[in-house]
């Protein structure tokens, strides 16, 4: 659809303050964007979380996890304040249009690393169909689609499937959480079709909205490896602090 028609049907809103913005203006008010905290350049070599200083190679979670099934992570903003509110509206209040700006920000701040990784496909973290029915869309898929379009890569939304409904289990250790999540995930029909054709991508960008402990991305990427994917880069819009 023509962008002007889309703007007319869905008046464009700033993803940070949710206020209307003039048609044709940047996707986010510049003054709103300035209120957010970018992850900066001092980040964990593995997941992309900020670390206190340059001498720390890994964040606490990555250092204590040991072996990881994805090899790199990139993110844009610290998960706090205005961007946290933005993500809540994006996820629970049908502001799926924010996905375009999120992908734009990912490319603006991490475009170099994303391109260098030379991925062959983009895959979103899946959600259970019950959640999908309730929410109307998978928020990770929305961001993955925008990112894939920009990088000119295929996006496989049914490569991974969530077969069991899981509730967040905060009392579990990270390791137990990963194990539980792995049991709730399986390769989807797209993984099977690509396997039959011998064209499972070797390098993929795995997309989610938020990175907290990393257990979701860890579990997804372990299942990706079972399908023949060899290298996984995790890309998220927001990430928790590494030393809080």
Query: In the 8-state DSSP scheme, what is residue 120?
Result: S
Helix, coil or strand: residue 199? coil
Q: Which is nearer to Zn ion, 76 or 155 (CB)?
A: 76
CB 29 within 8 A of CB 19: yes
Min CB(217)–Zn ion separation in Å: 11
For helices 174-184 and 215-226, the axis angle rounded to 10 degrees is: 50
Residue 101: CA atoms inside 13 Å, Cβ hemisphere, count? 24
Min CB(83)–Zn ion separation in Å: 12
Nearest CA to 208 out of 130, 162, 144 is that of: 144
CA distance 113 to 32: 26
Q: Which is nearer to Zn ion, 16 or 119 (CB)?
A: 16
Q: Which is nearer to Zn ion, 114 or 161 (CB)?
A: 114
Min CB(138)–Zn ion separation in Å: 25
Q: Given the rule CB under 5 A, which residues bind Zn ion?
A: 14, 16-17, 29, 32, 44, 46-47, 49, 59, 62
Min CB(206)–Zn ion separation in Å: 15
3-class secondary structure per residue, 203-234: EEEEEEEEECCCHHHHHHHHHHHHCCCCEEEE
Min CB(197)–Zn ion separation in Å: 35
Q: Which is nearer to Zn ion, 39 or 161 (CB)?
A: 39
Residues near 189 by beta carbon (within 8 Å), at least 6 away in sequence = 158
Q: Which is nearer to Zn ion, 35 or 164 (CB)?
A: 35
Q: Which is nearer to Zn ion, 61 or 157 (CB)?
A: 61
Angle at 102 between CA 99 and CA 103, to 5 degrees: 90
CB 146 within 8 A of CB 103: yes
Min CB(75)–Zn ion separation in Å: 10
């Amino acid at each position: 659809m023509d962008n002007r028609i889309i703007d007319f049907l869905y008046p464009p809103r700033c993803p940070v303050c949710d206020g209307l913005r003039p048609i044709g203006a940047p996707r986010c008010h510049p003054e709103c964007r300035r209120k957010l905290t970018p992850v900066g350049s001092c980040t964990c070599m593995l997941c992309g979380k900020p670390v206190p200083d340059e001498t720390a190679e890994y964040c606490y979670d990555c250092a204590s996890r040991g072996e990881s099934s994805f090899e790199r992570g990139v993110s844009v903003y610290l998960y706090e304040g205005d961007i946290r509110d933005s993500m809540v509206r994006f996820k629970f209040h049908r502001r799926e249009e924010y996905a375009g700006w999120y992908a734009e920000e990912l490319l603006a701040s991490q475009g170099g690393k994303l391109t260098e990784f030379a991925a062959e496909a983009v895959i979103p973290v899946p959600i259970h169909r019950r959640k999908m029915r309730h929410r109307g869309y998978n928020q990770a898929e929305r961001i993955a689609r925008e990112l894939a379009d920009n990088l000119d890569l295929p996006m496989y939304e049914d490569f991974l499937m969530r077969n069991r409904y899981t509730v967040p289990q905060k009392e579990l250790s990270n390791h137990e959480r990963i194990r539980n999540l792995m049991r709730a995930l399986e390769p989807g029909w797209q993984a099977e079709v690509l396997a039959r054709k011998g064209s499972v991508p070797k390098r993929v960008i795995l997309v989610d909205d938020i990175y907290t402990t990393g257990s979701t991305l860890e579990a997804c990427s372990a299942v990706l490896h079972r399908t023949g994917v060899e290298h996984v880069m995790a890309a998220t819009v927001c990430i928790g602090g590494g030393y809080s």
